[in-house]
Amino acid sequence: MKKLAVFVSGSGSNLQAIIDAIKNGEICAQISCVISNKKDAYALERARQNRIEAYYISKKDFPNEIEYEKYLVNFLKSREIDYIILAGFLYIFSEYFVEEFKNRIVNIHPSLLPAFGGKGMYGLNVHKSVIEYGVKVTGATVHFVDSTTDGGPIILQKAIYVRDDDTPESLQKRVLEEVEWKIYPVAIKLLCEDKIEVIGRKVIIKDKEILKRWELRHD
Ligand SMILES: Nc1nc2c(c(=O)[nH]1)N[C@@H](CN(C=O)c1ccc(C(=O)N[C@@H](CCC(=O)O)C(=O)O)cc1)CN2
Ligand SMILES: NCC(=O)N[C@@H]1O[C@H](COP(=O)([O-])[O-])[C@@H](O)[C@H]1O
């Protein structure tokens, strides 16, 4: 059974979707720990409610970023973590950390990358930019994490239409409910079942049936 570490900074609704998918047997994995860099993140409470080890570990408590990341690497390796799941985690890892877990860190971003990604693009900021730009479709992207910000190989995407009367808040709610909470558990299931192959920037999903079932088929 694969061991997951989930990194969070906020309310943890994506964490909850993953917890629920494990509980209902969709994902065969164990969340070994939840780690947040925000002490008051409700996601930590969600972990505790589900008897998952919850840790507040912040860069602020280390002399610099590299010491923070070295601590995290040792913390994760000592627990023999297989995959690192970023779920609203608002810290950008250096190349050092990413290389320690190459193609074993995934992230969900609330837009159709590469649009509306990069530094400063997180949470409501993304949906504000989407509405201001006037695009007709948006959605979410699950991708591998590399040394860039939001530029890693794309695993899954799903689109929804932007409505004329959407606010950033209404759009965020729909992207979470209709896209994120669906595609992230599917992506993690595929990862844990070794059904994802990465060839350069291309990501091949080796289980077309699950994509069809979740209307994520792309060929
Ligand atoms: N090396 C990588 N690390 C991370 C990635 C990544 O793709 N590569 N994804 C992010 C998550 N993310 C978007 O999906 C993201 C998170 C945070 C930011 C950002 O600009 N953060 C601010 C600080 C925000 C705060 O602390 O309140 C900043 O760094 O100035 C952009 C994108 C996770 N890590
Ligand atoms: N760039 C990263 C980013 O913006 N991530 C976004 O933060 C939110 C976290 O919500 P949650 O804490 O309820 O899962 C989610 O919408 C996720 O896509």
**Model ipTM value:** 0.96
Binding site annotation covers 12?
Answer: yes
Residues 118 and 24 in one domain: no
Q: Name the stretches of the chain with pLDDT < 70.
A: 218-219
**83/4 same-domain check:** yes
Residues 129 and 217 in one domain: yes
Ligand nearest to the CA of 129: 2
- Structurally, the chain folds into a number of domains equal to 2
For 80, the domain range is 1-101
Q: Specify the pLDDT at position 218.
A: 58
The answer to whether 82 touches 5, Cβ cutoff 8 Å, is no
**Domain termination residue (choose one: 72, 101, 130):** 101
Judge if 59 and 123 occupy the same domain.
Answer: no
Residue nearest to atom 3 of ligand 2 (CA): 122
3 state SS of 64? coil
Nearest ligand for residue 93 CA: 1
Render the burial of 81-111: b for 16+ CB within 10 Å, e for the rest: bbbbbbbbbebbbeeebbebbebebbbbbbb
Phi-psi region at 208: left, alpha or beta (left = phi > 0; alpha = psi -120 to 50): alpha
**Closest ligand 1 atom to 95 CA:** 1
| 148 and 62 part of one domain | no
Same domain for 114 and 96: no
Element housing 54 (H / E): strand 53-56
pLDDT given at position 214: 83
CATH number, domain of 50, equals: 3.40.50.170
Q: Within this chain, do residues 144 and 67 fall inside the same structural domain, yes or no?
A: no
Q: Which of 83, 101, 119 is the last residue of a domain?
A: 101
Q: What percent of the chain clears pLDDT 90, i.e. is strictly above it?
A: 94
Q: Are 205 and 214 in contact (CB under 8 A)?
A: no
Q: Which atom of ligand 2 is nearest to the CA of 117?
A: 1
User: Over the stretch 70-119, which tens digit does the pLDDT of each residue have?
Assistant: 999 999 999 999 999 999 999 999 999 999 999 999 999 999 999 999 99
143 Cβ inside 6 Å of ligand 1: no
Same domain, 111 and 214: yes
pTM for this one? 0.97
Q: Is 13 annotated as a binding residue?
A: yes
Residues 87 and 138 in one domain: no
97, 112: one domain:
no
Q: Which of 90, 126, 175, 176 to mutate to test the pocket of ligand 1 (most atoms within 8 A of CB)?
A: 90
| Residues 166 and 214 placed together within one structural domain of the fold | yes
130 lines ligand 2 (CB under 6 A): no
Instruction: Tell me the C-alpha to C-alpha distance, in Å, between residue 70 and each of 93, 99, 169.
Output: 11, 12, 37
For residue 32, CA distances in Å to 18, 39, 129, 141 come to 13, 19, 35, 24
- Paired tokens of 215: 């209307």
pLDDT of 69 reads: 98
The reply to whether 124 and 190 lie within a common domain is: yes
Catalytic, 109? Answer: yes
DSSP type of residue 177:
I
Is the shortest distance between the CB of 108 and ligand 2 below 6 Å?
Answer: yes
